[in-house]
Structure 1
Amino acid sequence: MLDLALLGFVALFLLAGLKRPFIWVLAYIYIDIVIPQKIGWSLISSIPLSLISFVAAFGGWLLLDSKKGSSFTLRQGIIGFLLLYCAMTTLTAAYPEAAMTKWSWVWKALLFALFLPLALRTRLRLEATVLIYVLSLAAILIDGGIKTLGSGGGYGELALLVKENSGIYESSIISCAAITVIPLILWLTKHGTIFKPDKRVRLFAAGLIFAALLIPVGTQARTGLLCIAMLGALLLRSVRHRFLFIGLAAIGVLVAIPLLPDSYTSRMDTIADHDSDESASTRIAVWNWTIDYAKQHPLGGGFDSYLANSFTYQTRSVRDVGGTTEVVYDTVTDKGRAFHSSYFEMLGEQGWPGLIIWLWLHLLGIWQMEKLRWLFGKREGGKESWQWGLATSLQQSQIIYLVGAAFVGIAYQPFAYTIIGLQCALWAYVKRVDKESVDAPQPSYARHLKQKPVARHPSTGS
């Protein structure tokens, strides 16, 4: 029954694209994030929904959609270069079989991010993409929020829509994605036109934000707590009443702390003392190994090159022995541990060139969104415009992602590249619309006003 319901929904989504091919782009975003083929039990899991929607999105745009207003930006070129570079390192990877497995989904994430701005030519399409992106993540967040309220969750124990603890459903990744999407939810509640902001929309948005904030609690992922802290700092920059915001945030924290489960607060304590936590100590050891590996392999070892690592480190724990407290050091030997950081993931897999390209892609996005904020901020009423709001939200989402990416390997995750695609589309849209407004023919009275005034005769004044 579940399979039939999911298949029916996806089929309706794809059928709607026969009338409006752009809907296939939205269908791919939904399928790529929610992964309904993994939610079902039998029939739906045997159908390549991702590939079908991927081909439909590209084919629909290429054959049926208008190309008017489509343009290619510098950042799309950077994505294309990163795609080619990753293909090269995959061919020379230290672990070819593992590298090809990862490449099978990475290339789609990169290529779709490169393509997405070409299809987002209008405000309506930009908003529709943001809406589907938010609602797709909402399907996961609402499920996780309800289960957190019911059971409290646990690290690696919070069961979401699928049983796998991988991809978007991995504890640290969904914690990062949950906080990343909050700025876009806020933008829709203010500037949405598909669902016009009213009490119902605002109530749903408030509930969705609450569910998103519960995900780091349910997963007990430290990455989520750091992302929440960054979200608070970024919102402080853009809110109108900053002192009121600080006061409400402080009250919220004071109310929430007593309600948090002990297992969550104990795990968060390890942020300040990584030596007492084996997972945190592993991260430090892997990062040190990756730096040494990059010295020997400056062009990277290809996808999943972490399989080559092997190291020994010590963990420190405090134990109660016979009524006295003792500090015990344990020696741990480990190998084949993941990078636990997108920055070191890029360094180990793609080497220094890949890391530089990846950083350039993201830092350029932050700068472009800041430039749009400045551009509309200096216009009359510009900070109330949807463009200023979307640029601000996309910048906030990207910075939150980059903070979370420091502690989990999500350098190629599709949810992050959708944000990049939206940034490229907004940048191209604003440049095109501003150029069209300058080049547009003006009314005769406007041309008359711009004519050079006739010089008056000094003696007659005529």
Structure 2
Amino acid sequence: MRDIIITLIVFGSLPFFFKKPIIGLLMWVWISVMNPHTLSWGFASSFPFAAIIAATLLAALLVTKEPKGLPLTGVTITFIAFFVWINISTLFALQPDLVYEQWIKVVKIMVMILVTLMVLKTREHVQTFMWVLVLSLAFYGVKGGIFTLTSGGQYRVWGPVGTFIGGNNEIALALIMAIPLMHYLQLLTTNKWIRHGLTGSILLCALAAIGSYSRGALLAIAAMAFFMWLKSSKKAMLGILMILTIPLLVIFMPDQWGERMDTIGTYQEDASAMGRINAWIMAYNLAMDRPLTGGGFEIYDLQTFERYAPIPTDVHAAHSIYFQALGEHGWVGLGLYLLLGFLTWRSCSWILRNTARRDDLKWAHSFAAMSQVSIIGFAVGGAFLSLLYFDVPYYLMAAIVVTRIIVANELKAAGAPTSSWRTTPSTSFINRPGVTH
């Protein structure tokens, strides 16, 4: 039954892509982030829904009369440069015969991020986009939180099998990113029942992240909670809520959870932690040997570790977005990735400065603030996970870019000054002379 429902929803939506490409983008996000087809047990579990949606959306963009183009911002240009460099490093990969499958996967993700930048145009687009993105993740957070409650935290929470967020560490980080964005959605709605539902979802997502037994997630939660408190306009109330809630969540977990978290302070005695450090040193040594392009995809094998790792037989994945970028794409790739994050952060800061006293742009102010909290969570948690190509942070980046342009256009239309010409974004678009917001 699930197979039929998902199939009807996907194929029933395809004709509407040509009238409103945003519908196609929302369907893509739903399928690629939530992966609802993996919840079925029949033909739908392996059916290429994502490919069909992407192909139809690209076709719709070719024939639609809606204006389209890429926004001209530093973030966009840096993202394209990073995308181009990934392709260059692939040409010089250590394992040229093995990289094709991963390269195709990454190219698809990056192309759809560019499509996202082309399709999102208005405030309504951004807000609807965030609803679909966040709820696609919250589904697993609510499900995982309930599982943790009913099992007493005795078992780990896992994500959908065969996806970016299938592992316990990966689903935890995804939920951590989603929590502040759920709070943003709370600020959007005036319906008290939806707000209460989002509050419950936030608590369950936090419990699910803790129930994943991910040590990196615990560090990310701590960093994110502190930064959220700093960004909050109601520090006293939020502080009291954290003081009451977080200890209760931790106390609820069994002794085995506490024992695992205790290994953070004794990482030298933990084989998993030391294996990650071995992989990080390998990535650094590889990058020093091949500073421009790194080793490309598929470098986590015995041959590469024998050449660059201090413990040659202890083969591990990168377990860090930073060392993954460094090892696979060299110092140039890491530099572009860090620059992308920095510019995205600055875009949020620009939005915050220029919307602080504008009630009509309060939505953008709240979005930028919670986006920075989400970025903090990913930046800390990502230091321990191989999620360089995880699409959700790039979707958030795209939404921030478009929001900044919308704000700039609104301020320009109102004749309001911006904080600094150096931080004012270009409001023009490639092949897109007129934009109506």
**TM class by shorter-chain length?**
0.7 to 0.9
- Tell me the equivalent position of 1:427: 404
Following superposition, the deviation at residue 389 of structure 1 comes to 0.8
Letter in 2 for 1:289: M
For residues 369-404 of structure 1, the C-alpha deviation after alignment (integer angstroms, 9 at most, x for no partner) is: 112111112x3558x711111111222211211111
Q: Which residue of 2 aligns with 1:25?
A: 25
Measure how far apart 1:18 and its partner are. Answer: 5.0
Shift of 1:14: 3.3
Aligned to 2:433: none
Taking the TM superposition and a 5 Å limit, the aligned residue runs for 1:282-297 are: 282-297=275-290
What is aligned with 1:236? 229
CA distance in structure 2 between the partners assigned to 1:62 and 1:112 by the alignment: 15
Aligned ranges 1:404-443 → 2 under 5 Å:
404-438=381-415
Q: What CA distance in whole angstroms lies between the structure 2 residues aligned with 1:276 and 1:241?
A: 41
Contact 1:70 1:121 in 2 (8 A): no
Assess, with a 3 A threshold, how the Cα gap between structure 1 residues 434 and 145 changes in structure 2: closer, same or farther: same
Residue 252 of structure 2 is aligned to residue 264 of structure 1? no
Structure 1 partner of 2:352 = 373
1:33 and 1:137 in contact (8 A); partners too: yes
Partner of 2:305 in structure 1? 309
Instruction: State TM-score, norm by structure 2.
Output: 0.88
Q: What SS does the aligned partner of 1:302 have?
A: coil
Describe how 1:60-459 pairs up with structure 2 within 5 A.
60-67=60-67, 71-152=71-152, 157-160=156-159, 162-164=160-162, 166-191=163-188, 196-298=189-291, 299-307=293-301, 308-310=304-306, 311=309, 334-377=313-356, 379=357, 381=359, 385-438=362-415
Tell me if structure 2 keeps the 8 A contact 1:22–1:61.
Answer: no
Query: How far, CA to CA, are the matches of 1:288 and 1:28 in structure 2?
Result: 37
Q: What is the Cα deviation at residue 264 of structure 1?
A: 1.2
Greater shift, 220-229 or 102-111, is seen at 102-111
Determine the C-alpha separation between the residues in 1 that align with 2:342 and 2:280: 22
* Deviation, structure 1 residue 159: 4.6
Q: Distance in 2 between matches of 1:32 and 1:276?
A: 38
Change (3 A) 1:312 1:262: farther
Bigger shift: residues 65-74 or 20-29:
65-74
What is the CA deviation profile of residues 93-140 of structure 1, one whole-angstrom value per residue up to 9, with x for unaligned ones? 112344222212211222222231221111100101001101111222
1:336, distance to aligned residue in structure 2 (A): 3.0
Q: Deviation above 6 Å: which 4+ runs of structure 1? A: none
Q: Give the Cα separation in 2 of the matches to 1:97 and 1:219.
A: 36
How far did residue 335 of structure 1 move? 3.5
Q: Which amino acid aligns with 1:281?
A: M
CA distance in 2, matches of 1:57, 1:211: 34
Give the conservation status (yes or no) of the 8 Å contact 2:177–2:378: yes
TM-fit CA distance, 1:240: 2.3
Q: Deviations over 1:62-98 (max 9, x none)?
A: 3225117963322112111111111122222112344
CA shift in 2, pair 1:182/1:278, >3 Å: same
Query: Contact 1:175/1:219 (CA < 8 Å) preserved in 2?
Result: yes
User: Structure 1 residues 141 and 13 mapped into 2: Cα distance closer, same or farther (>3 Å)?
Assistant: farther
Q: 1:13 & 1:170 partners in 2: Cα distance? A: 30
Amino acid at match of 1:49: F
Unaligned residue ranges in structure 2 (runs of 5+)? 417-437
- Unaligned runs of 5+ residues in structure 1 are 314-332, 440-462
TM-score of the pair, normalised by structure 1: 0.83
How far residue 11 of structure 1 moved from its aligned partner, in angstroms, is 2.9
2:87 and 2:176 mapped to 1: Cα distance? 31
Kindly provide the amino acid, as one letter, of the partner of residue 267 in structure 2: H
- Tell me the equivalent position of 1:451: none
Distance change (3 Å), C-alpha of 1:66 and 1:82: same
Q: 1:22 to 1:139 in 2, by over 3 A?
A: same
Letter aligned with residue 361 of structure 1: L
Residue type matched to 2:10 in 1? V
* Separation (CA, whole Å) in 2 of partners of 1:40 and 1:96: 36
The superposition leaves residues 424-453 of structure 1 with CA deviations (integer Å, 9 ceiling, x where unpaired) of 1112222223233339xxxxxxxxxxxxxx
User: CA, structure 1 residues 12+203, in 2 after alignment: closer, same or farther (shift >3 Å)?
Assistant: farther
Percent identity reads 27
Using a 3 Å threshold, how does the CA distance of structure 1 residues 67 and 154 change in structure 2: closer, same or farther?
A: farther
SS of corresponding position for 2:313: strand
Distance in 1 (CA, whole Å) between partners of 2:378 and 2:317 is: 19
Distance 1:366 1:280 in 2: 29
> CA 1:342 to 1:15, structure 2 compared with 1: closer, same or farther past 3 Å?
same
